[in-house]
């Protein structure tokens, strides 16, 4: 079957063009020396310079990074604990199905419903405690909520691929529960934890819908800033900002892919 198939190749290239045309367009306009309109007026990097002088954008970038870092740390710990607690214990098959349902909930439920449900939860919790006033705290809590499941699913698949031999060997050698956890289980599932954490971090950086429903005026993230700018009227700075965001997400993907694929 490895013959030349021009039609297949043509459609494949067309698909790639569809996926890349937007990014390329943004990158091209980010170096275009024109404030209004889209006509080409020559090459410039001044929009990138303006980017670093705009305090709103810098604030949004800081917010995005704080949000992604804090929520990733919290969700990686919680998600790993959940995976170990659920899949290394003698729960009945019925309970297992129930746990699976809860864990798969954020994967199946559409983003917008999760966003609305979280907004509702914060509204109710606000009556009890004022830290749930809309802002950075609600953003972090909402991100952790959807990240936990993804971390758990990744760590779980790692746990399942390990088998029980090493655990039994450790116990035969009189490892205590804590020693066994610290020196056997944790090192073995570390790749899963790192992969889950990276997934959680990227999901947080990329998220728009859940942040949109749960952010306050002081806790604008980069995707929200771009959305607001689109509604207000796009300036060339936004092209520069978007290009930076596109490149920053592409770099780790390329590195991870080069490291994991063994060709």
Partner 1 sequence: MGHDGAPKIPGQGPRTVVWLGELTTYWRLRLRSLAMAGPPLLWLTLLLAVPCLLLGCLAFASRGQYGEIVFQATAVNLKRLIGYTTFGWSPAFLYIMARSLWVALVTTVLCVALAYPLTFHIATRPPKKRVYWLILLIIPFWTNVVIRAYAWLLILGPQMPPAKIAAVLGLIGDGASLYPGPLAVYLGMVSTFLPFMALPLYASVERINWEILEAAKDLYGSRYMIFMQAVLPQTKPGLYVGIIVTFVPSMAMFVVTDILGGAKTMLIGNLIQQQFAQARDWPFGAALSAALMLLTLMSLAVFRWRRRDGNGGGSSIFGGFD
Q: Which is nearer to partner 1, 18 or 35 (CB)?
A: 18
Min. distance of Cβ 210 from partner 1 in angstroms?
A: 11
CB 197 within 8 A of CB 256: no
Q: Which is nearer to partner 1, 28 or 45 (CB)?
A: 28
Min. distance of Cβ 66 from partner 1 in angstroms?
A: 18
Distances (CA, A) of 237 to 195, 229, 252: 33, 10, 24
CB 50 within 8 A of CB 237: yes
Distance, CA of 108 to CA of 102 (rounded, Å):
10
Min. distance of Cβ 47 from partner 1 in angstroms?
A: 14
Instruction: Collect all residues with Cβ–Cβ distance below 8 Å to 146 and sequence separation of at least 6.
Output: 106, 114, 203, 207, 210
Which pair of tokens denotes residue 5?
Answer: 């198939």
CB 31 within 8 A of CB 43: yes
Q: Which is nearer to partner 1, 130 or 232 (CB)?
A: 232
Min. distance of Cβ 77 from partner 1 in angstroms?
A: 9
Min. distance of Cβ 74 from partner 1 in angstroms?
A: 9
Q: Which is nearer to partner 1, 70 or 116 (CB)?
A: 116
- Write b or e for each residue in 180-204: b if 16 or more Cβ atoms lie within 10 A of its Cβ, otherwise e: beeebbeeebeebbebbbbbbbbbb
Q: How many Cα atoms occupy the beta-carbon half-sphere of 86 within 13 Å?
A: 24
Q: Which is nearer to partner 1, 66 or 111 (CB)?
A: 111
Min. distance of Cβ 141 from partner 1 in angstroms?
A: 7
Q: Which is nearer to partner 1, 55 or 164 (CB)?
A: 164
């Amino acid at each position: 079957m490895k013959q030349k198939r021009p039609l297949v190749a043509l459609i494949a290239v067309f698909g790639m063009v569809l996926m890349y045309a937007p990014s390329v367009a943004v990158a091209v306009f980010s170096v275009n020396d024109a404030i209004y309109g889209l006509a080409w007026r020559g090459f410039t990097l001044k929009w990138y310079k303006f980017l670093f002088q705009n305090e709103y954008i810098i604030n949004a970038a800081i917010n995005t990074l704080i949000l992604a870092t804090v929520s990733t740390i919290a969700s990686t710990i919680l998600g790993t604990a959940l995976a170990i607690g659920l899949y290394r214990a003698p729960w009945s098959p019925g309970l297992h199905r129930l746990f699976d349902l809860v864990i798969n909930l954020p994967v199946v439920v559409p983003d917008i419903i999760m966003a609305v449900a979280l907004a509702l939860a914060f509204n109710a919790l606000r009556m009890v405690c004022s830290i749930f006033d809309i802002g950075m705290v609600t953003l972090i809590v909402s991100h952790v909520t959807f990240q936990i499941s993804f971390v758990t699913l990744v760590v779980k698949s790692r746990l399942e691929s390990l088998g029980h031999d090493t655990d039994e060997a450790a116990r035969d050698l009189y490892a205590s529960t804590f020693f066994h956890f610290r020196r056997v289980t944790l090192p073995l599932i570390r790749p899963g934890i790192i992969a889950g954490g990276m997934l959680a971090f990227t999901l947080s950086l990329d998220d728009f819908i859940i942040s949109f429903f749960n952010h306050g005026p002081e806790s604008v993230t980069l995707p929200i800033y771009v959305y607001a700018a689109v509604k207000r009227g796009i300036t060339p700075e936004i092209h520069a900002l978007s290009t930076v965001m596109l490149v920053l997400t592409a770099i780790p993907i390329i590195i991870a892919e080069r490291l994991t694929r063994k060709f």
